[in-house]
Amino acid sequence: MADSAARHSALAEAAGVPELIEKKGLLVVYPNKAAYEADALAWSLRRENNVVWKTMERPELVALCPELGERYQYGAFIVDGAHCRSPGGYVAALAQYAENKGVRYISGCAEKFLIDGGKISGVVYNGNKIACDHLVIAGGMGSVELASQIGDRLPLVSERGYHVEVPGAEGGVSIPVMMSDLKFGITPMTGGLRAAGQVEFALKGAAPDWRRARILLDCLREGLPRLKIGGFSTTNHWMGNRPSTPDCLPVIGPSPKVKGVYYATGHGHLGLVSAPLTAEFIARLIAGDVVPEVAPYTVERFCRGGKE
Ligand X SMILES: Cc1cc2nc3c(=O)[nH]c(=O)nc-3n(C[C@H](O)[C@H](O)[C@H](O)COP(=O)(O)OP(=O)(O)OC[C@H]3O[C@@H](n4cnc5c(N)ncnc54)[C@H](O)[C@@H]3O)c2cc1C
Query: CA 255, 257, 259: angle at the middle one, nearest 5?
Result: 65
Q: Name which of 240 and 256 has its Cβ closer to ligand X.
A: 240
CA pseudo-torsion sign 109, 115, 118, 119: negative
Q: How far is the CB of 32 from ligand X (least distance, A)?
A: 26
Q: How far is the CB of 216 from ligand X (least distance, A)?
A: 9
Q: Name which of 169 and 244 has its Cβ closer to ligand X.
A: 244
Q: Name which of 73 and 198 has its Cβ closer to ligand X.
A: 198
Q: How far is the CB of 37 from ligand X (least distance, A)?
A: 25
Q: How far is the CB of 58 from ligand X (least distance, A)?
A: 26
Q: What gap in Å lies between CA 196 and CA 149, rounded to an integer?
A: 34
With b for 16 or more beta-carbon neighbours within 10 A and e for fewer, the 233-271 pattern comes to eebebebebbbbbeeeebbbbbbebbebbbbbbbbbeeb
Q: Name which of 186 and 229 has its Cβ closer to ligand X.
A: 186
Q: What gap in Å lies between CA 195 and CA 291, rounded to an integer?
A: 37
**DSSP per residue over 268-282, as a string?**
GGGHHHHHHHHHHHH
Q: Which residues bind to ligand X, rule: CB under 6 A?
A: 109-110, 138-140, 142, 146, 161-163, 196, 240-243, 265, 267-273
Q: How far is the CB of 245 from ligand X (least distance, A)?
A: 11
Q: Name which of 192 and 243 has its Cβ closer to ligand X.
A: 243
The angle, 0 to 180 degrees and rounded to 10, between the axes of the packed helices 271-286 and 4-14 is 80
